[in-house]
Amino acid sequence: MESMSDIPPDAGRRCSNCGATLHGDYCGHCGQRDRDLRLADIAGEALEEVTDLDSRLWVTLKTLVLRPGRITADYIGGRRARYLPPVRLYLVVSFLVFLSLSMGQSTAVSTVGVDQQAVDSQESGIYIPRTNEAGEQEILSIGEFIEAEGLQDEIEALPDGLQSAIERMVVNAEIIKDNPDAWMDDLTRRLPQMMFFLLPLFALMLWLFYARSPYHYLQHLVFSVHYHTLAFLAFLLMQPLNLLMPGDYLGLVTLALMIYLPFALRGAYASSKRAAAVKGMVLAVSYYFVVVLTGTLVVLLTLAFL
């Protein structure tokens, strides 16, 4: 049997892609076929790409949802061909999330424990929950909250820069009532920046929790990308559910993600049941407060610099 080196090179023919000497229709260096572009080639490549993407997409999503941690373990273990790359999957899903947010309606901002009917009765804007002297719960605008709590003296004692920022928040909060969509658009644009901070931070927390394990930071980062992708998927599923059966499902989704985390840790890191449960619950609660704090700071910064 003749080897490639025994086949005489075609005179004057070189690969258009890499410049190597051709020994036939296909380049022996890069594998590209040497022929004029045809419609069938374009259609075939497109069909192959779509079919491959569709197959890997559903395998990736099914594994991510139904087998917590398995996709991360496979990716770290080198079994990657069957799945979409984690960053590509995250970018696609996060794009859909931010798109749905940008298309949503602006409403009054609520927090856990606030009567939703009281929130719904308010016009669009930003409100702060407060328990008054009679023990009744109320929601107030930022200006009303500052006045009700008697915070004027404390604000005046702050540095000039912080005073100016709080004053801008009060003014902008009133402006938002007339044009809430502008603020929501600005907030939505800042959410990817917030996630750019939270993704590596969550990986850092994992690295600290598994400091004695052989896993390094980049492997924890893969887990972080997969976990946040699942969180975005849960948010996307919450949207049609809310249309069919209106309600506040954010708390339920948060609880589901907290329960999912220990199973994902066990699947990805082969932790014992007890270790995965303890680390998962502590990590979930800690990270929840980090997300709430970060989200609050983003809201306040967006409000101050609207």
pLDDT average, residue stretch 22-26: 72
Task: Render pLDDT for 194-233 as a digit per residue (tens, 0 to 9).
Answer: 888 999 999 999 999 998 888 899 999 999 999 999 999 9
* Of residues 247, 203, 210, 194, the one with CA closest to residue 227: 203
* Of residues 78, 102, 77, the one with CA closest to residue 191: 102
The DSSP output letter for 124 is S
The pLDDT of residue 287 is above 90: yes
pLDDT at 274: 92
User: Furthest-apart CA pair in the chain: how many Å?
Assistant: 96
Distance CA(67)–CA(25), nearest Å, equals 45
The pLDDT of residue 60 is above 60: yes
pLDDT at 220: 94
Confidence (pTM): 0.70
The pLDDT of residue 46 is above 60: no
pLDDT at 260: 94
Cβ-Cβ contacts under 8 Å for 158 (sequence gap 6 or more): 166
Lowest mean pLDDT among 77-91, 133-147, 210-224, 273-287: 133-147
Q: Where are the domains of the chain?
A: 4-35, 60-114+178-304
The pLDDT of residue 109 is above 50: no
pLDDT average, residue stretch 43-71: 73
User: Do 23 and 9 touch, CB atoms closer than 8 A?
Assistant: yes
pLDDT average, residue stretch 29-37: 63
Distance CA(305)–CA(175), nearest Å, equals 13
Over the chain, what is the mean pLDDT? 76
pLDDT at 67: 93
Q: Which of the two residues, 12 and 56, has the higher pLDDT score?
A: 56
Task: Render pLDDT for 137-146 as a digit per residue (tens, 0 to 9).
Answer: 777 766 667 6
> Where does the pLDDT of residue 115 fall: very low under 50, low under 70, confident under 90, or very high at 90 and above?
very low
> Where does the pLDDT of residue 289 fall: very low under 50, low under 70, confident under 90, or very high at 90 and above?
very high
Q: Which of the two residues, 60 and 306, has the higher pLDDT score?
A: 60
Q: Which of the two residues, 116 and 80, has the higher pLDDT score?
A: 80
Q: Is 198 exposed, middle or buried (0-12, 13-18, 19+ CB in 10 A)?
A: middle
pLDDT at 84: 86
Distance CA(242)–CA(45), nearest Å, equals 39
Residues of the chain above pLDDT 90, percent: 24
pLDDT at 228: 94
Lowest mean pLDDT among 16-30, 137-151, 186-200, 264-278: 137-151
Task: Render pLDDT for 229-242 as a digit per residue (tens, 0 to 9).
Answer: 999 998 888 776 66
